[in-house]
């Protein structure tokens, strides 16, 4: 019996000790350390996310900058390509106009060479036979001859235009006036500057006695024809036939009237 009481007493003590152990609060230092560890892990985790976001943002910015640079370069290349194409087109047009100018002025040279002139005549006399005019003013004669030579000998057509304009300014009442208008008309016509050509050829028509008048009239018809004004072109051609029926200009006009 005493042994049983002893066992009960021992079990009671053990149960009390266990209850006290389970009921005891956790140490303050352990709770604090646990909280700090959790906070550190959280902060470390947030820092990694932020770094990742920054890296992604930086990469996106770099990609956008590179894309913008590529777009700018592509636009610039397209602009340059367009400029090159325009320059090539302008060059082709200029070469075409130059070829037409050579053909037109070669035709003029051929017509002039086909006209007879005395073998022993001086240059001024030859020019008088060619153009039907002569000036007693040596400077005036030389200025006109130099302007013509720029076309027939030097093929300096821009220089010839400037020379004829200066001649008209320096000698407004010259007997060469209709010829200067005619030559300017030929130069403008070959360059396809039809408005200026028409003005110059039209000015020739005012000189009733000029041997350039019939040719100028044909050219006015050619300008009208080139600008799809057939009715006006036929009027000029017919006028040449009516006023100069036996001339070479009339033969050209008749060909255009067919």
Among 5-19, 94-108, 168-182, 187-201, the minimum mean pLDDT is found in 5-19
Q: Would 227 be classed as within a structural domain?
A: yes
Is 6 inside a domain boundary? Answer: no
Q: Is 182 a residue whose pLDDT tops 60?
A: yes
pLDDT digits (tens, 9 = 90+) for 117-161: 333 223 433 444 344 466 678 899 999 999 999 988 888 999 999
Domain that holds residue 247: 109-257
Q: What are phi and psi for residue 98, nearest 5 degrees?
A: -65, -40
Q: For the domain that residue 172 is a member of, what is the CATH number?
A: 1.25.40.10
CA distance readout (Å), 141 to 125, 147, 177:
11, 10, 12
Q: What's the confidence (pLDDT) of residue 205?
A: 96
Decide if pLDDT at 242 tops 50. Answer: yes
Task: Name residues whose C-beta falls within 8 Å of residue 91's C-beta, 6 or more positions apart in sequence.
Answer: none
What is the Cβ-side half-sphere exposure of residue 248, based on CA atoms within 13 angstroms? 9
Q: Whose structure tokens read 């821009």?
A: 158
- The answer to whether position 187 is within a domain reads yes
Look at the chain and report how many structural domains it folds into.
1
In a domain, 253, yes or no: yes
CA distance 178 to 206: 8
List pLDDT tens digits, range 94-110.
Answer: 556 555 565 666 665 55
Q: How many CB atoms lie within 10 A of CB 182?
A: 26
Q: Say what the pTM is.
A: 0.54
Q: Is residue 145 part of a domain?
A: yes
Q: Examine residue 78 and state whether it is found in any structural domain, yes or no.
A: no
Whole-Å CA distances, 204 to 123, 138, 241: 24, 24, 17
pLDDT number for residue 90: 63
Give backbone dihedrals phi and psi of 176, rounded to 5 degrees, phi first. Answer: -85, 0
Domain membership of residue 35 (yes or no) is: no
CB 146 within 8 A of CB 163: yes
Q: Which helix (H) or strand (E) holds 32?
A: helix 28-114
Residue 47: per-residue pLDDT:
78
For residues 254 and 75, give the distance between their C-alpha atoms in angstroms, rounded to a whole number.
56
Residue 24 has pLDDT above 50, yes or no: no
Whether residue 217 contacts residue 240, with contact meaning beta carbons closer than 8 Å, is answered with: yes
The answer to whether residue 28 is domain-embedded is no
């Amino acid at each position: 019996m005493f042994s049983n009481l002893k066992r009960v007493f021992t079990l009671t003590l053990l149960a009390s000790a266990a209850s006290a152990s389970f009921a005891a609060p956790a140490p303050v230092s352990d709770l604090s350390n646990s909280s700090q560890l959790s906070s550190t892990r959280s902060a470390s985790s947030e820092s990694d996310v932020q770094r990742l976001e920054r890296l992604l943002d930086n990469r996106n910015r770099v990609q956008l900058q590179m894309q913008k640079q590529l777009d700018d370069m592509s636009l610039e290349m397209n602009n340059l390509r367009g400029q090159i194409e325009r320059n090539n087109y302008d060059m082709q047009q200029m070469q075409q106009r130059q070829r037409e100018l050579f053909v037109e002025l070669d035709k003029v040279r051929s017509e002039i060479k086909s006209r007879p002139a005395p073998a022993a005549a001086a240059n001024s006399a030859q020019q008088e036979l060619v153009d039907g005019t002569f000036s007693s003013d040596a400077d005036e004669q030389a200025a006109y001859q130099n302007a013509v030579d720029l076309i027939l000998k030097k093929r300096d057509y821009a220089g010839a235009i400037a020379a004829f304009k200066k001649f008209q300014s320096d000698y407004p009442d010259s007997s060469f006036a209709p010829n200067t208008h005619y030559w300017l008309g030929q130069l403008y016509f070959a360059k396809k500057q039809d408005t200026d050509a028409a003005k110059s050829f039209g000015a020739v028509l005012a000189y009733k006695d000029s041997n350039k008048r019939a040719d100028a009239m044909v050219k006015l018809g050619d300008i009208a024809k080139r600008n799809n004004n057939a009715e006006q072109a036929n009027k000029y051609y017919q006028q040449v036939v009516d006023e100069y029926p036996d001339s070479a200009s009339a033969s050209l006009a008749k060909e255009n009237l067919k």
